[in-house]
Amino acid sequence: MNVAFSYLRRSGLHGQTLNLSPNLSREPVAFDAELKRPLRFREAMSALHDIVVSDHRFQRRDKTAYEAWKATETERVRALRSDAVKQARTDIAAKLDQPLPPDFDRHFNKLCKTYWSARESYATHLRKHDLALWRLLMPCDPVITVADDVLFFECFSADESSYGCLTVNREDGFGASPDFQRGTTNVDYSWELFNHFQALRSYRETRFKIDPAGFNVATRGGADYREEKIDLPAGWLRGFMQLQAAMAMPMRKVTLTREAVYSLLVWLKRHKARTSPRALRFEQPAGQPLTLVLEPWEQRIPVRGGSADGDWSQPIRIWGRQRLLALARLLPLVESVDVYLLGTGFPSFWVAHMGEMRLTMGLSGWTANDWTRGSSLDLLAPPVTPIAPEIEEVSAFLQKKRAATFTEIDAASARNPGATAAVLNRLAHTGQAIHDLAAGVYRWRQIMPRALGEAELGPENAEVTASREIIRCQRVSIESRVAAPAGGNIFVGKSDGTPVELLIDPDGRIKRGRCLCGHFKKAGLRMGPCRHLLALRWLAFQPTPDSSGADATDWFGRLRGFAATKGGA
């Protein structure tokens, strides 16, 4: 998907004013007020920057010398390929009057994969050797939303596994704003602007300004005016939207003290795990305080003064904990950290409270996992699609009020909670709304100037798509169900004619499985469950395989009940 950006000038620190240039291709947004605590704001924005540029994917060793040694072989291969290309062009020219071959889509997808692999390799090289040029390849500029009560800044990490949202209360964080226009826009963000943030000091007055000048003047002939078209990676928007939808799901809440977070980050900084497992485990034995356990060392960090909701008969484990080091710079400002857990192996959300500010970090199940593969949150979505009038009614209410609780939205729509939840899930999936975890409200926020369609969100994971087809055609059945000794259930059945077996733990996650398909034989569960296991898990979660007979009310009640048994909200 190509996204257009237009800026009047570069953002930067002009005198004592931190001037941000908004995207002129979007709705006009304006804000101009004094920063009451510039030093605290500087640290929070710097932490958000760390999330934007974070990339914890496995990096292979530098093979520059090896590639140089292979230069002569590469030249020989290049000559062979050149001859092959010439021959292929001759063949294609002879077939111009013929229809497209039946496997055209397969070849197209293969070439797209080759292109993005090369682009990611090039981006990794630039990140190590040329940060300024690498920044130009970042998928999208941060998004700023000006609301009546808050300003919040959103970003998505380079490896697409982490989300950051910095929220600043307008009354406590800023002075009066004579030039105010609420809305959402992208802002020009660069390494130079990051360096300007570092120049903020508490002993001199600094104004924070989203400059609306570009909306009122003819700018296309200006020397500083520029337009950009960014080619977003396949699935980037879909992962972002999945994250937004996950924030509205029932979760278990844990409150950590600053001391516990400090102990956690210090241990991660000073130690490197050489063996598996590498999970962070949340435990609360009966009559004892909440405890964080770092694997594989079994290092226990008691959370004295913290709290945890719900039944903790089973611990919760999450992976990709190194991403939490982005919170290190905020420790002097942090008062407490709320952690929202969907379950073992599922995404988690960390909300750091800092007085007038709060930073929300959304982490996928593990660093190398995207938001639509291993955890398969799509399969927990409402079993019905809201109709257009329902979506328009809730959209109009939320757009007018800008922020509302679920109860207020449900009362305004005069429907049942299940239907309201389905509409809000749809709005989050298309980038129109966001769930503010800490405030407990839904906010109107358009990640793009318009609602996003399925085609614009990029390709869906092939196994998830295929599992839906199996479910739709009712080609999945459960033959037996046995309680597992360590908790959860073992299901045996058939999916699309293939014998399958899987162990679902008490959190609804596929812990182990067995299937005869090629996807499972190649990677097991390392690349996410195959379509047959996903279809069987869906059937295990649903009381009936006939989705046409289900409605949003049934879905909402089952999901709330499922979360209640796990201590969710």
What pLDDT shows up at residue 472?
86
Q: How far is 249 from 508, CA to CA, in rounded Å?
A: 14
The pLDDT tens digits for 357-415 are 999 998 887 666 555 454 456 555 555 678 888 888 999 999 888 899 988 998 888 77
Q: How far is 372 from 160, CA to CA, in rounded Å?
A: 11
Binning pLDDT at 50, 70 and 90, where does residue 528 land? Answer: low
What pLDDT shows up at residue 547?
39
Residue the block writes with tokens 């039944």: 311
In CATH terms, the fold of domain 381-444 is Arc Repressor Mutant, subunit A (1.10.10)
The pLDDT tens digits for 244-288 are 767 877 788 899 999 999 999 999 999 988 887 888 999 988 778
What pLDDT shows up at residue 140?
56
The pLDDT tens digits for 29-84 are 888 888 888 888 888 888 887 887 777 666 677 777 777 777 877 787 778 878 88
Share of the chain above pLDDT 90, in %: 18
The pLDDT tens digits for 472-505 are 898 999 999 998 887 778 999 999 999 999 887 6
The pLDDT tens digits for 212-250 are 664 443 334 444 444 555 555 556 677 777 777 678 777
What pLDDT shows up at residue 484?
86
- Provide, for the chain, the percentages of residues in helix, strand and coil under a 3-state DSSP scheme, each rounded to the nearest 5: 35, 25, 40
Top-confidence residue, 52 or 289:
289
Q: Is 504 within 8 Å of 331 (Cβ atoms)?
A: no
What are the structural domain ranges in the chain? 2-56+172-233, 242-369, 381-444, 462-549
What pLDDT shows up at residue 545?
37
The Cα-based distances of 201 to 16, 42, 360 in angstroms read 10, 9, 24
Does the pLDDT value for residue 542 go beyond 80?
no
In the three-class reduction of DSSP (H, G, I as helix; E, B as strand; rest coil), residue 395 is classed as helix
How many other CB atoms are there within 10 angstroms of residue 497's CB atom? Answer: 9
Looking at 131-145, 151-165, 210-224, 304-318, which range is the least confident one?
210-224
Q: Which residues in 370-497 belong to E strands, given as ranges?
A: 403-404, 433-436, 441-444, 476-483, 489-495
- Which CATH number fits the domain 242-369, given the four candidates 3.40.50.1980, 3.30.750.80, 3.10.150.10, 3.30.870.10? 3.10.150.10
Share of the chain above pLDDT 70, in %: 75
Q: How far is 146 from 182, CA to CA, in rounded Å?
A: 5
What backbone phi and psi angles, to 5 degrees, belong to 522? -75, -45
